[in-house]
Structure formats: C-alpha cells, structure tokens
Amino acid sequence: MIELTAAQVAAATGGRLQADPDVMVTGAVITDSRDAGPGALFVALPGERVDGHNFAATAVKAGAALVLAARELDGLPTVVVDDPQAALGDLARHVLATVRGRADGSAAPKVVAVTGSVGKTTTKDLLGQLLGPEAGAGADADADAIIVPKGSFNNEIGLPLTVLRVTDATRYLVLEMGADRVGNIAYLTGIAPPDVGVVLAVGVAHVGHFGSVEAIARTKGEMVPGVVDGGSVVLNADDQRVVAMASQAAPGTTVQTFGTIPSADVRAENITVDTAGRASFTLRVARPGDADEQRADVVLGLVGAHHVSNALAAATVALRLGVTVSDVAQRLSGATALSPHRMAVTERPDGVTVIDDAYNANPDSMKAALRTLAVMSGRTRRSVAVLGEMLELGDGARAAHDEIGRLVVRLNIKQLIVVGDGAYHIHEGAMQEGSWGSESIFVPDLAAARSMLDESLEPGDVVLVKSSLGAGLAELGDHLSMALTTKDNNK
C-alpha cells in the first residue's frame, strides 16, 4: 500500500484518532494478526466465532503501526470507526483514487474487474498471464506492476484488501467481483471503478440468496454502469441476459462482446477438444475501426471446453488494453491453471487420473465438469464421478441435484459416488434415469467416500471430484491427487 499517516487513515475512513497523527502505515493492510509485520495496518473485524479486536495487541506486538477498530483499545494506536469492514472499503477507495489522481496519464493503473456466475477466478488468472510479462508477470519484473489476487478474494473484505496492495508502480489491477445479494457489485465497483468491466455469464449460483435468476442478472449488470467514464464493458454474446446489459452502458462507454456466435467482436471458431479435455480454436478478432479481421490459433492448456469462453473474455480485455492478437494467442496457449481445486488434473503414478474441481459448484459448472470427464475417459477408460452438494440453490436445490444425477447417466459415466445428505438427490436422479446395481452409490460422508475410492480405483480410471467448497470435497480431492490407492500402498 502507499504510505499513509494515522491522520490520513482517520480522514479516509471517517474515524476517530486514538494515536499519534504522524504514525506512519508503511506495510500491508491485514485482517489476520498472524500476518502482521513492521508498519502494518491491522483491521479488527468482528466475526461469528472470532473477534479481531481480541488479537489487536498481538498484531501491534508483531509490528503493526495502527489498528482500525470499532472501539477504543487501551494502549494501542487506533482509528475508531463504526464499522471496520465498511471502513476497509472506504480506505481502499481512497487509496486507489489517490494513486489514480497523482498518476501521469498512461501511467495510471488500469483496473479490470470480472464478474459472472461461473468462470471468474479462471478468467482473472488468465488475465494475469495475458497482461504480462512486461506488466509484471515475468520473474524479473516489478511485483507491484500487476496485481492479481490469489484464489477468490472477491467479496467486501477480499476485494478491498486486494485494492490496498496498489502502489504508484501498479499498471494493472485485476479484480474478481462476486455477489450473493443485489447491490454487491455496485458496492464493489464503488470501491474500485473499473476501466474495463467484464460480465461472463448469468447462472443460478447463489439463487437461494437472490430469489430468482432475474435478480442475479440485475446484480451482475451492476458492473456496466460501474465502469469509469469513457471505460469499456466486455460482455458475453453467447448469454442473452449478459449481452442485453449493453443497454445500461453510459454514453462514451465502449461495449465489446465475445463468444462463439458470428456477431461477437472476439470469437472462437473451429473449436475442437482433445482426449485430454483441452480445447483448441481459431481466435477471430474484429477490432473497432479495423477494416480487416485478424485470426490466430489457440491451443489451451486448461482442461475443459468451457474454458473457451473464459479465454475469450480474457482475450477481449487484453486486446482492449493494447496486447496484439498474436501475443494474446501465444500467451493463452501457454497459460496454466493457477488456483487450486479448479479442474486441476493429476496423473498419478498408478495410472489413475484425478480431476479436482472441488472449489465450487453450481448446475452450470457441474454439467461442464461432467462433460469434460466423459471426454477424457472416452470409450476405453472407466469414468468415476464423485459429487457433493451444490450449496445456496434455494427452493430449486432438489430439482437441480436430480438433474445432475440424470445427466451422469446420459453421459454414460460408469461410476457415480454421491457424498453427503445434501447431495442425495443426485443419486436419486441417477436411479430414476436408469442407473442400476452399483453404478450409483450414496455414501454419508468423506470418510466413507475415501475408503471406497482407495479400495476401488484401478489403473486407467478417470475420477472427477466436484462440489461446493462448503461441502468439503476439496479435502478428498487433495487426498486422491497425492495418494496411491490403498491396494498399491499395501503391496
């Protein structure tokens, strides 16, 4: 973060200063006292199980220069605010505006924000690889030149923490914006108004909170009016709800589309998927004002045909920011998966292939992962789907899980293992669709699934592990990716 005095932090957050106004914050902004170091600002967030205020003294002892808190803390340098989480957002807004305001023209950081029901993290990771190496992705480049959060720092806490990493050396700030309620995206774009805002897709993720797909679309659409004056909006032409958001763009906003339909500005043609589940396509680009279209071949290293859409979104942003078509194609072809538990493929020494996609799940991503499993197993390898609950689907949860079970049968997945009571209706759907005998098995918990898989997996099997993060199958994905089967270990 840029250096700030305690007085400046208080002014930015509307807080009451209980510290020397000249105390300097020179380190990182943190919410975990274990991350404290010299000059840090510790934000004491209250939680359901842990209250950050109880760890403020520990953070200061470890070197934190200042605490942002909801109450006075005896003997500790503190800025007292009504709501530390809201103050965190206020501080991030101030820091970004300050850096933008004192930058010289093209030196101002370009903010790219990505939202959508699926694909946010992968697209964010791809952008980090497309906008380097000269922007900071190279090993010898300035680490502050491009900021891309690891994992999914996409909410009211994670996003401000990412924004607060900005310095005067930052050229690109890539942000992921998630939402589980109407107004979330508007709030996040209010903290970090993007130069380029991306909407990937509208699905049913978190529909239990939103109440309807229409409400989800309205929330994702908050990205469009949230871009800076004269900014750009990148929309998925293959999703009718997304492309309709163009009508919300303010005068002077550039709208560009990506997809597979002919009208998309940046599109994929001649898509093929190999037996490893990796897609190839021709990238076809019509830049605004260009008389001739440009083409380049892309061979993705990411597993899953659904990543074509994510790649197109990232390509559209990079092209908008001045990367050439040939460089975009080359960098997409060299891009790798950076975040764990997202279609992470492990080839075990015993011949078992593990596809770990257990970070998140909704009906759309579950269907895409199952189709990839079917492609990778082909006609010669046994396909095994280990599926857990898809959370936050509201009243439609039973029908959604039932539909996944039926799809498993239609895709001719050889073995289905359904884990946990919340996912039971996947098993029920498979049975209703025609699965019989031991083709579909329900187990109550991770321990039972682990025991069964350790005993039953054979060389040549392709096994997919997928659920919402809260269902806990990521632990099983880690186990399967690292371990040989019990039978092999006992030889």
* Residues annotated in a binding site for ATP: 116-122
Pairing mode, strands 29-30 and 24-25:
unpaired
* Mode of pairing for the β-strands spanning 254-259 and 232-236: parallel
Annotated binding site: 116-122
Tokens of 340: 């764990």
Q: Are 142 and 16 in contact (CB under 8 A)?
A: no
Residue 417's contacts (CB-CB under 8 Å, 6 or more residues apart) are: 384, 385, 386, 387, 441, 443, 449, 452, 453
Beta-bridge partner residues of 259: 267
Helix (H, G, I), strand (E, B) or coil at 396: helix
User: Rounded to 5, what percent of the chain is helix, strand, coil?
Assistant: 40, 20, 40
Positive or negative, the CA dihedral 221, 372, 422, 433 is positive
Sign of torsion, CA 234 173 102 66? positive
Strands 344-347 and 353-357: antiparallel
Place of tokens 């996040």: 188
In whole angstroms, give the CA distance from residue 223 to residue 203: 16
**Is residue 271 within a helix (H) or strand (E), and if so which, with residue range?**
strand 266-273
Q: From residue 5, how far is each of 65, 73, 99, 163, 250 by CA, in Å?
A: 10, 19, 16, 18, 37
Whole-number Å distance between alpha carbons of 401 and 388? 10
Strand partners, 441: 417
DSSP code, position 90: H
Coil, strand, or helix at residue 449? helix
Place of tokens 């396509």: 281
**Alpha carbon distance 164, 28 (integer Å):** 8
